Amino acid sequence: MTVASGAFTGTWLLVGIPLFSAAILLIGGRRTNKWGHYLGVAAPIASFVLGVILFFSLIGKGSTGRSIDEHLFSWTPVAGFRANANFLIDPLSICFVLLITGVGSLIHVYSMGYMAHDPERRKFFAYLNLFVAAMLLLVLGDNFVALYFGWEGVGVASYLLIGFWSYKPSAATAAKKAFVVNRIGDFGLSIAIMLMFTTFGSFSFADVKAGAPNASHATMTWIGVLLLLGACGKSAQVPLQSWLGDAMEGPTPVSALIHAATMVTAGVYLIARSNFIFDVSSQARLAVAIVGTVTLVFGAIVGCAKDDIKKALAASTMSQIGYMMLAVGLGPAGYAFGIAHLLTHGFFKAGLFLGAGSVMHGMDDEVDMRRYGGLRKFMPATFITFGLGYLAIIGFPGLAGWFTKDAIIEAAFHKGGTSGAIFGGCALAAAGLTAFYMTRVMIMTFFGEKRWAEGVHPHESPGVMTIPMWILAVGSVGGGYALILSGRLAKFLSVVVPRPADIDFKPIGVIGLATAGVVVLGVVGAWLLYARRPVPAIAPAGGPLTIAARRDLLGDAFNESVFMRPGQYLTRLLVYFDNRGIDGFVNGFAAFVGGTSSRFRRFQTGFVRSYALSMFGGVVLVLATLLLVRG
From CA 508, how far away is CA 528, in angstroms rounded? 28
Measured CA distances, 297 to 82, 86, 311 (Å):
42, 38, 16
The two beta strands, 68-78 and 81-89, are antiparallel
- 605 near another protein, rule: CB under 8 A: yes
Interface segment toward another protein; rule CB under 8 A; list 120-128, 290-298, 349-357, 605-613: 605-613
Residue 509: alpha-carbon gap to chain centroid: 34
Interface segment toward another protein; rule CB under 8 A; list 247-255, 288-296, 478-486, 598-606: 598-606
Question: Smallest distance from the beta carbon of 611 to another protein, in angstroms?
Answer: 10
The two beta strands, 68-78 and 2-3, are parallel
Residue type, 223: I
Nearest to 98 by CA among 133, 38, 50, 58: 50
Query: Which residue in the set 609, 626, 629, 631 belongs to the binding site for another protein (CB under 8 A)?
Result: 609
Question: Smallest distance from the beta carbon of 590 to another protein, in angstroms?
Answer: 20
List binders of another protein among 44-63 (CB under 8 A).
none
Interface segment toward another protein; rule CB under 8 A; list 58-66, 254-262, 566-574, 611-619: 611-619
Question: Smallest distance from the beta carbon of 616 to another protein, in angstroms?
Answer: 6
Interface segment toward another protein; rule CB under 8 A; list 65-73, 379-387, 560-568, 608-616: 608-616
Other beta carbons within 10 Å of 97: 25
Measured CA distances, 357 to 23, 47, 280, 372, 552 (Å):
27, 25, 44, 13, 22
Question: Smallest distance from the beta carbon of 600 to another protein, in angstroms?
Answer: 9
Question: Smallest distance from the beta carbon of 599 to another protein, in angstroms?
Answer: 10
The H helix count followed by the E strand count for the chain is 26, 3
Nearest to 300 by CA among 286, 313, 287, 291: 313
CB nearer to another protein: pick between 563 and 616: 616
Say how many CA atoms lie within 13 Å of 486 toward its Cβ: 2
In order, the DSSP letters of 150-173 are HHHHHHHHHHHHHTTTTTSHHHHH
Interface segment toward another protein; rule CB under 8 A; list 45-53, 397-405, 496-504, 607-615: 607-615
Question: Smallest distance from the beta carbon of 612 to another protein, in angstroms?
Answer: 5
Give CA angle at 187 (80, 310), nearest 5°: 135
Residue type, 245: G
Query: Which residue in the set 30, 169, 543, 607 belongs to the binding site for another protein (CB under 8 A)?
Result: 607
Measured CA distances, 194 to 52, 144, 312 (Å):
35, 10, 38
Q: Per-residue x/- marks for another protein, 529-548, CB under 8 A?
A: --------------------
Question: Smallest distance from the beta carbon of 595 to another protein, in angstroms?
Answer: 14
Query: Which residue in the set 64, 198, 418, 604 belongs to the binding site for another protein (CB under 8 A)?
Result: 604
CB nearer to another protein: pick between 53 and 619: 619
From CA 108, how far away is CA 98, in angstroms rounded? 15
Interface segment toward another protein; rule CB under 8 A; list 79-87, 128-136, 362-370, 603-611: 603-611
CB nearer to another protein: pick between 167 and 600: 600
Question: Smallest distance from the beta carbon of 603 to another protein, in angstroms?
Answer: 8
Is 40 within 8 Å of 126 (Cβ atoms)?
yes
Reduced to 3 states (helix: H, G, I; strand: E, B; else coil), residue 499 is coil
Query: Which residue in the set 501, 606, 626, 627 belongs to the binding site for another protein (CB under 8 A)?
Result: 606
- Total residues at the site for another protein (CB under 8 A)? 11
Is 484 within 8 Å of 407 (Cβ atoms)?
yes
CB nearer to another protein: pick between 59 and 623: 623
Query: Which residue in the set 524, 612, 622, 624 belongs to the binding site for another protein (CB under 8 A)?
Result: 612
CB nearer to another protein: pick between 570 and 619: 619
Residue 157: alpha-carbon gap to chain centroid: 11
Question: Smallest distance from the beta carbon of 598 to another protein, in angstroms?
Answer: 8
Angle between helices 400-414 and 335-362 (to 10 degrees): 140
- The alpha carbon dihedral of 407, 434, 262, 326 has a sign of negative
Q: Report the DSSP beta bridge partners of residue 76.
A: 83
- 626 near another protein, rule: CB under 8 A: no
The answer to whether the bond into 119 is cis (omega within 30° of 0) is no
Question: Smallest distance from the beta carbon of 582 to another protein, in angstroms?
Answer: 32
Interface segment toward another protein; rule CB under 8 A; list 210-218, 259-267, 472-480, 597-605: 597-605
Question: Smallest distance from the beta carbon of 629 to another protein, in angstroms?
Answer: 22
Q: For the chain, first and last CA: distance in Å?
A: 91
Query: Which residue in the set 117, 532, 602, 630 belongs to the binding site for another protein (CB under 8 A)?
Result: 602
CB nearer to another protein: pick between 524 and 612: 612
CB nearer to another protein: pick between 508 and 608: 608
CB nearer to another protein: pick between 501 and 608: 608
Interface segment toward another protein; rule CB under 8 A; list 225-233, 245-253, 280-288, 609-617: 609-617
From CA 415, how far away is CA 406, in angstroms rounded? 14
Query: Which residue in the set 524, 547, 613, 624 belongs to the binding site for another protein (CB under 8 A)?
Result: 613
CB nearer to another protein: pick between 214 and 598: 598
- 601 near another protein, rule: CB under 8 A: yes
Helix segments in 201-306, DSSP class H: 205-211, 217-235, 242-246, 252-256, 266-273, 275-280, 282-305
From CA 548, how far away is CA 315, in angstroms rounded? 14
Q: Which residues bind another protein (CB under 8 A)?
A: 601-602, 604-609, 612-613, 616
